[in-house]
Structure formats: C-alpha cells, structure tokens
Structure 1
Amino acid sequence: MEEDGLAALRAKRMQELQGQFGAGDPDEQKKRKQQQEQQQEMLHSMLSQILDQNARARLNSIALVKPEKAKQVEAMLITMAQRGQIADKMTESQLVGLLEQVSGKSQKTTVKFERRRVMDSDSD
C-alpha cells in the first residue's frame, strides 16, 4: 500500500515538473513554438522596415558573432522606431554609429609592448 502511495506521489510530482518546464502537453509546445515564430517574423518585418539592405546585412553578421549584442541593438532600434526617432530607413553608416554608441569608445583594444632591457656587464 505504501508503494502505491509513493508511486502516486512520484507521478503527481512528475506532472508538476513537466507542467513547469513545458514538457507536458504537446499542444502547448506547438502553441509556444508558433508564438515564438510569429514574434520572430514580426521582429524581422519591423527591422526590414527600419533598416536598408546593407544595414540589415551588417546586423545579421553581427548576430552571428555576438548574438547578445545584436539582440540589444535590435531592441534599441525597435524602441527608437516606436518613439518616432527614426524617420527614414537607417543606412549602414548610421547603424555603425549606433553600434559605436552601444559598445562605447572606451572598449577600444590597445596593445602595449614592453621590451625587456638586457643588462650588459661589459658596459660598466
């Protein structure tokens, strides 16, 4: 009898966990996937209205290397468009300026070489 109760508790807990992580209902997974696809499609259509072709290509290449930075810039662009700060399609040079603002000039990498000085005993 204890084993039946234990098995029932395990089954109940497994259902709760599956509900939390979305591993339960396949219909819910399909709905979530469709919602994510719709959101991505809306994002891409908005960005294609905001950016010209060259700027869009640059943003896509940035997304391959630094996806988190690309997401940040995309969110910034959409916010700017919603506020009316972008009148015409943004060109590649304007996007580069925006990227510089996001990354900041302070993150410029510099390399400094220090050569070791050799002490020569003959020169004394």
Structure 2
Amino acid sequence: MSDDLEQIRRARMEELRAQGNKPTAGPGAGGGSNNDDAQQDMRTSLMSQILEGAARERLSRVEMVRPERARQVEELLIRMAQSNQLRGKVSEPQLVQLLDQISAQEDRSRAKIVYNRRDSDDEFDLDASTQKEQPNAHDEEEDDDDFFD
C-alpha cells in the first residue's frame, strides 16, 4: 500500500511541477482543454488507486447528480492519501460516510433566515385592556373571601 501512496505523491508532485513551469493560458488560448484532460486522467487514475470498485461506481453515480459534491470528495480523498491518513482502499460504506459528513457540513454552513415577528402596538393595547379587567374580577373574589373572615 505504501507503494501506491508513493505513486500518488509522485504523480501529484509532477502535476504541481507541470503547472508551475507552464505559463497559464488565458481563456482565449486553445491549449487549456489538453491540460484539463491530463488533470482528469490523473484524477481518475488516483481514484482507481484509492477507491474500491463499488466505491468508484457510487462516486460516479454521485458525479452524475452532483458533480460539485463528487469533486469535493475526490479532493478530500486525494488530500487524505497524500497525508497518509488512508490505511487501505476506501470502501463504499466509508465513501457514504464521507458523503454524509460533507452534506452535514454544507447544511451547517448554509445561511438560515430567521423571521422575528413582533406584536404590533394595536395588539398590545388589546392585551392591556383585558389585563385591566381581570384584576377587577379578582378584587370581587377577594371581597367574597372577606365575608367569611
């Protein structure tokens, strides 16, 4: 397994060197797609080394539905492999767990809108008028109690 990780490291170092030595092409230049294809091929080969077959299939299905989520998982797995956090190939249940963690993280980071509704002044006045009537009714009950004293 250490040989696989060493291959991943070498491939990543070559990728970084290639990106550092080449001038960045603007959007008008035609050479950008070749570089993208090479990066995609590199990513695919790394994923085949990191993931088991069932996990690769699941990730490809996720990529059909949510390409940005699949990209996040791929980047996370590559970082984990480079930092020796992976002990073996990632199985499908482990991949599902990673997907759940990323989903929960997105839910927490999503902005929430909270509506604070306050009572208007009219409602406050109505409540105050009913509260004034209740003490009077309460006073009458106290008068009844005084009768038996």
Q: Aligned-pair distance for 1:20? A: 5.3
Closer/same/farther in 2, CA of residues 106 and 32 from structure 1, 3 Å limit: closer
Match of 1:118 in 2: none
Take 1:99 and 1:68, find their aligned partners in 2: how far apart are those partners? 12
Query: What TM-score, normalized by structure 1, do the two folds share?
Result: 0.62
Query: Relative CO higher for 1 or 2, CA cutoff 8 Å, sep ≥ 6?
Result: 2
Q: Aligned-pair distance for 1:81? A: 0.6
Structure whose CA Rg is larger? 2
Identity of aligned residues (%): 42
Q: Deviations over 1:8-59 (max 9, x none)?
A: xxxxxxxxxxx9541xxxxx41x32211111000000000000000000000
Where do 5+ consecutive residues of structure 1 fail to align?
1-18, 23-27, 108-124
Aligned length: 83
Match of 2:71 in 1: 71
Q: Aligned-pair distance for 1:105? A: 8.1
Match of 1:44 in 2: 44
Runs (4+) off by over 2 Å: none
| Letter paired with 1:76 | L
| Letter paired with 2:72 | Q
* 1:91 equivalenced with 2:97 (yes/no): no
Closer/same/farther in 2, CA of residues 56 and 35 from structure 1, 3 Å limit: same
Q: Deviations over 1:58-108 (max 9, x none)?
A: 00000000111111111111111111111210000111111111111895x
Take 2:93 and 2:27, find their aligned partners in 1: how far apart are those partners? 43
Q: Match of 2:63, SS?
A: helix
Where do 5+ consecutive residues of structure 2 fail to align?
1-24, 108-149
| Letter paired with 2:35 | Q
Take 1:48 and 1:21, find their aligned partners in 2: how far apart are those partners? 30
Give the CA RMSD over aligned residues.
2.0
Take 1:40 and 1:106, find their aligned partners in 2: how far apart are those partners? 25
